[in-house]
Structure 1
């Protein structure tokens, strides 16, 4: 996983140090070096980066003010010759503070920290976006966790819905519409006013029925188009 970054410092020599250090970090990809902070603002309005190396003492705008001006700032490592700004920098959620002149080892430590934070962030986003692989269903006075992959089909039974599973049947007081809303649409299809099937459990089909473990599931006329789309997948 690449860590993209830019560096801002009004001293070209300081940028050269960062450039040389960055060349030694295999996962770090530098996208730009700026002596003018306002050029960097223009760049950031067009490009998204993961990490910003930012000098604090600059002539037109301080690094602290620069970072405060960004609506969605990237991870930031402050680089400065002055230690008195450390507390303020961490109040702005900087991930590290490099005091010039800093060594390659110290620079790599900051990069490793940023890389680890990026990995954690992406893992968290993936976990949030991932659909759960189970649902909770109330039966009687208890809530039961049902793995989605265990569901074969659902069958309406008056004011109840039967969840037909691989190894058992579970009855819940639900309407069919409530059952539809409970299940992920990408994995389950209503094929009849009284039936919902697990798409990946269908073994064969004919004009009037779908078959799951050789059990015929009728296809309702009102749901024929949905079944046709399902079978074309």
Structure 2
């Protein structure tokens, strides 16, 4: 089963890198990206993706606001250049936190965590 993902980041560089790395994960199917948090907010409410990767530091609605609104309904992976956001993101219900700059294994491990959280099974059984 392929998972539907939304990625939100105001930086085109980080957005495209996260998309490329997530697309190489065997359990990720459709990916929709947004560089505007308000557009992503509308999309998430209407389309109900299976999980979200969101930058924390964005203008307007930041990633912590996303967590407050959606983490009880959707698994979240938060990203930031500031490691100190990790504790807050997890307290708000985030499944995992990935510090920038991130690697393929960082993103893949976080996606594995989301899968385990969603289905209660380790990913290694499905790769």
- TM class by shorter-chain length? 0.7 to 0.9
Bigger relative CO (Cα 8 Å, ≥ 6 apart) = 2
Task: Supply the distance in 2 between the matched residues of 1:62 and 1:48 (Cα, whole angstroms).
Answer: 19
Query: 1:67: how far off?
Result: 2.0
Q: Who is 2:14 aligned against?
A: 14
Deviation for aligned residue 1:31: 3.1
Name the SS for the 2:84 alignment partner: helix
Name the residue aligned to 1:103.
Answer: 103
Match of 2:67 in 1: 67
Match of residue 39 from structure 1: 39
Q: Deviations over 1:8-61 (max 9, x none)?
A: 000011111011101211111233100111101111121121111010000112
TM superposition shift of 1:78: 0.3
In the alignment of these two chains, the number of paired residues is 121
Partner of 2:77: helix, strand, or coil?
Answer: strand
CA distance in 1: counterparts of 2:73 and 2:55, whole angstroms:
15
TM superposition shift of 1:71: 7.8
Using the alignment, how far apart are the partners of 1:102 and 1:69 within structure 2? 25
Ranges of 4+ aligned residues in structure 1 off by more than 2 Å: 69-73
Point out where structure 2 has 5 or more consecutive residues left out of the alignment: 122-127
SS in 1 for 2:46: coil
Query: Which residue is 1:24 aligned to?
Result: 24
CA RMSD of aligned residues (A): 1.6
The separation in 2 between residues aligned to 1:71 and 1:55, in whole angstroms, is 14
Q: Which structure has the larger Rg?
A: 1
Q: Which residues of structure 1 form unaligned runs of 5+?
A: 122-233
Q: Which residue of 2 aligns with 1:53?
A: 53
Kindly indicate which of the two structures has a greater share of residues assigned to helix.
Answer: 2
1:119-198 matches, within 5 Å, as: 119-120=119-120
The structure where strand makes up a greater share of residues is 1
TM-score by length of 2: 0.87
